[in-house]
Amino acid sequence: MPDAIFADPRLARIYDAFDGPRDDLDLYLGIADEVAARSVLDVGCGTGSLAVLLATSGRSVVGVDPALTSLEIARAKDSRVTWIHGDATSLPSLQVDLATMTGNVAQVFLGDDWEATLHGIHGALRPGGHLVFETRRPLRRAWEDWARSAPRVRGGVREQFELLGVNMPFVSFRHTYRFPDGSRIASESKLRFRSRAEVEHSLVRCGFAVVDVRDAPDRPGREFVFVAKRK
């Protein structure tokens, strides 16, 4: 079940405003160029920010997401992208050059669903195709920065963050949105913070070779960026 921030219609409509400029996506566009990807699968595409950029660059793009409301917003942005309601474990037959998971996508998988997702992506890639995604470095303790963040206001909507619990490798938190009419909507989330070794081992178990582990240029020292290749 997707978090309310992605699935509730009122929250999905304001998601891009709170997400802000997506400078983090330049990394993915650069890697798409680096591996000469002409076709891309964006797993957990959300409202379609990366998928639209990839399509604009002339690539064939498939975006998949379990949150139908977010997907409808994405679909309205660009008809060139093939938008699929679902997840990586239930994809149609594909043979793409590159698969991506941006932002927190790789961390929303809390248990066996992580390797099930990797297997699904493996099946959607052509032999020798690449997977790139990011995860937050656990030792950086990003949740402490989140807990200190001030409330934000966009278009009259106020967002408040609340840290609910840290029981490593899991971190739980809540975003509460107050609208100009006085109504409130809360969205609770949980992320799994995996070590570099844990991620690398899971990739190998699921049929990938780890090509590189990089820093995110816009967030130095905060993220692991994994580049893997389907064996």
Please calculate the CA angle 202-206-210 and round it to the nearest 5 degrees. 65
**H or E element that contains 148:** helix 142-148
Do the beta carbons of residue 163 and residue 173 sit within 8 Å?
yes
**How many residues are present in the chain?**
231
Q: What was the pLDDT predicted at 4?
A: 81
**How is residue 67 annotated by DSSP?**
-
pLDDT of residue 22: 87
Show the tokens assigned to 50. 């990366």
User: In the prediction, which pLDDT does 13 show?
Assistant: 93
Instruction: Output the pLDDT for position 20.
Output: 81
Q: What is the pLDDT of residue 184?
A: 97
| 88: its two tokens | 């990586």
d(CA 42, CA 88): 10
Residue 171, H or E segment: strand 170-178
pLDDT for 63-108, tens place per residue?
999 999 999 999 999 999 999 999 999 999 999 999 999 999 999 9
One CATH from 1.10.3720.10, 3.40.50.150, 3.40.50.1000, 3.40.710.10 for 4-138+195-230: 3.40.50.150
Q: What is the pLDDT of residue 1?
A: 74
Q: How many whole angstroms separate alpha carbon 133 and alpha carbon 100?
A: 6
pTM of the model: 0.95
Give the whole-angstrom CA distance, residue 100 versus residue 91: 14
| Cis amide bond preceding 21, omega within 30 | no
pLDDT, residue 182, reads 95
Gap between the Cα atoms of 31 and 82, Å rounded: 21
Predicted pLDDT at 88: 97
What are the residue boundaries of the structural domains of the chain, listed by start?
4-138+195-230, 139-191
- CB-CB contact of 21 with 41 (8 Å): no
Mean pLDDT, each 10-residue run in order, the chain (231 residues):
86 91 93 98 97 97 97 96 97 97 97 98 98 98 95 96 98 97 96 98 98 94 97 92
The two counts, helices (H) then strands (E), for the chain are 8, 11
